[in-house]
Structure 1
Amino acid sequence: WGLTPHFGASRGEESYVVRTSQGGARTFYYRPHNLWGSFSYRAFVGYSLGPGWFAIMLNCGNLILKIAPPNHHCPTGQVGTYPYCSTPPTPVATCNALDVKKNGDTYQLTANASAANGATIQEYIYKVYRGNALVKTIKTNDKIVTYTEKTPGSYKVALTVKTSLGDKTSEACTKTFTIPEPERCPQNPKLLKADPQCQPCPADSTLWINDSRCSASFVQTKSASNLTQNNADATTVTAKSGDRITYTLSVKNKGLKEEEFTFKDQVGDVLEYADIFDAGGGTLTDDKNASTGSTNAKFLIWKAVKIKPGESQKRSFTIQIKNNLSAMANGKSNPTSYDCRIDNTFGNTVSTKVDCPAPKVIEQATSQLPKTGASENMLFAGVISAVVVFFYARSRQLNKEVRIIRRDMSAGTL
């Protein structure tokens, strides 16, 4: 053995590398001793369990072995070629992070995990909790999964990475998110704010549009003026043949909501003594609910119109009193029919007297006999009886006096 090569590998010289205490390496060379020739050397001889018999030469201190030593190998648990041995890195697997991204009602769950030095990732396990209750478990080989959820509440997603070294997780692999309660309709909490029916009352934003209090309230009024008699209030003058009277219908919405209103005026009583001169855009139609035989059961109707809260609308029409007023008697079933008055109601009633012909005046003056009770009837019967008795007695007395006169004349005493 020596530190310097002399003969080369072709002649059987080999080398042996040994690690030094400083961490380096030193190469020793050994070759068959006979390459030096046939010489005798003085040496110290010894025996060791490893190499067996050995000797140390006295003149140079070189080692002489009886057999070549076996090749060195790296110790158990190390890798490499001796003497360059090293301890291999320990396999490692970790769950590094979990990312949660919201997209509408869908949540994208992205895992960040790693495995090295021979460790492997086998599966990703996502567990979704609402409060403390498990609502979903997703097992997949993909790092990215999606999860859809709409129910309001507080959620937690816990990621566990199944590896060749066991299940791995960490605080960074647990994330939370919250699905808030959907915004409610301010006027009606039973509805969502996004509901098309979530609308405030037009005139009161604190009320729901379909609240019973959010409604229209139409106030109807009517007036009439006699154009022929200098636009006098038709209720204060008597209408004569040929007079023209204009009726004005007014409606005001005193409610909280815009609604549709149809102007509709019953003109049956008007047509008994007048004709429509100007309908004012209205249409004369029959009253379908009128009783059979009602010849003048008519309505004057205008197209429906929407009236906003606080808004007023008016409609007007003009009539002309007939030249030949009817003398028809009052109706028994309807005493207001042909009663020499025109009554027209639209909210309030406008009543106009009509200058009727003479027979109607007499009819009104003698519309009924005097009302009497039982005592008046007995008295009247008693008077009649007394008169009858008086004339009966007087008639008998006259007959007796005539007989006496005739007898006296026959006797010559008269």
Structure 2
Amino acid sequence: MFKKLLSNLPFNPSLIGKVSFYAKRLHKEASVRRLGLAFLLLFLGVQIFAAAIPTQPSVASSGNDMFPGGFANQGDAVNACNSNTYDFKTILNYFGIDCISLYAGQVRRIDYNEYGGQLYSMGRIPYGFASEVSVSIPNAGTYYMRPLTSWGDHCYNDGHNCEAITGTRADGTPFMVLLGCGNITIVGPPAPPPPPPPPPPPPAPNKLIACNALLMSVNEGAKVKAGSSVSVRGRAVGQNLPPNELVDMYYYLVNESGSVVASQEAKGIPFDGTLAQDNTPRVFTLEKAGNYTFLLAVKTDGSTVNAFGNFEGDCVKHVSADTQKPCEEAENEDDAEVCLVLNKKATNQTQGIEDANGTTAKAGDVILYRLQVTNTSKNTAVNDFVVEENMADVLEYADIVDLHGGTMDANNIVRWPAIDIKPGETVEQQVTVKIKDPIPQTPVASTAPGSFDLTMTNVYGETVNVKLPPSVPKTTEQVTTSLPNTGPGETLAVGFVAALIVGYFFARTRLMAKELDVVKSEYVTTGGA
């Protein structure tokens, strides 16, 4: 139409009216296209802004997960093992599981009642269950295992959380790795680490010098009062000895835990034939109550020979002092920490509630946690005791206001400097938090029912629960294993293409309108000449 009007205008001047009408229509069309281009550019700007800001996860990841967020499939778990992400490979190796076993495992649904309900699942956070066991893994940290039955029917009713990679450990027992959280599951509680191998026996010397007897001022196995003194003397025998041979004797007093309490030396004892005897009594004081052992070792030419290689026979003597336990629960005098009683109390300072356990707090409320440790012993102090508190569950809904002298690490564990607690003394540490405003409404994660449950749970000797009001209805979270392959890249590409097309038509319409205005202006000015 544009070309037709311009080509026929010199032959038919009456077409100037249609030119004016077409020019007005083009101006209106240019306005519409300009508005469309503006909206499209605004949309494109929103997409660029959305792509520049990282999205927040919609699925709550519990701090108890061994692998935050879990695995989408078996391949993700194998890749995490090979790269040792979150020390995953180190932890697997501790339980006799390697990446090949994980790759060869079978993915299936497990029942928490399998193996007679003896499945134990590992997590990063203690929950205070009765059968919970802590496990210290070198180069990884301390983790906590509790029966899978502790979670109740939650695991069994939720399909994805109970999908697990199953296989066999190095010792032939089964293992499971839960896909929903990466938590390692084994049959039964973890076994304690094996004791270190005994040292190899020393090489036999050419000449033989050994302990012969240990003489004690009291009878073998005698009981004496704490603070009493006991003297000992030693004898050594030798064979194939050179003339004027001397021997050194070493006396050790060892407590029932195997630690050396005191030691004495007798150097340069001469042999009379094949026998060397220390005639000087060596006096030891049994300052504390308990069971003690006297050991005699003999040494010559840089070698120590203890009763033909072992502390046995007459070279070992036993004696005990009156046991005075710190408290009835203690097994021995050094077991003083068992006398400590841990208590905890939460106070809602905003609402004036002295005992906030079981109450409902509001957004912005200030909660004071008071941790009390009481030494119930009447005679023994506990030295260098460290009060520590796990605040992971509390910090899901609150912020720290004051640690009152404590420090918090990356795992949200607060520790205070070591202190000495006298008999009968009670010490107290405090943590002040403030409820977030607004209260987060993150849905409960299928991987950890105790996380984001609108309850601040805290365990220190006893469990303290502070409830929070929900502001929106909570729904059960559904976890999918795959999502559409879309993202900001595809959206930005479509937006740029659309902007180019709309911009092209807008510029074209605007140019045509200007050209018609020029034609009409020149035609009116020249009269069509």
TM-score band (shorter)? 0.3 to 0.5
Q: Which has the higher contact order (CA 8 A, sep 6+)?
A: 2
Normalised by the length of structure 1, the TM-score is: 0.37
More helix by share: 2
Structure 1 or 2, whichever has the larger Rg, is 1
Larger proportion of strand = 1
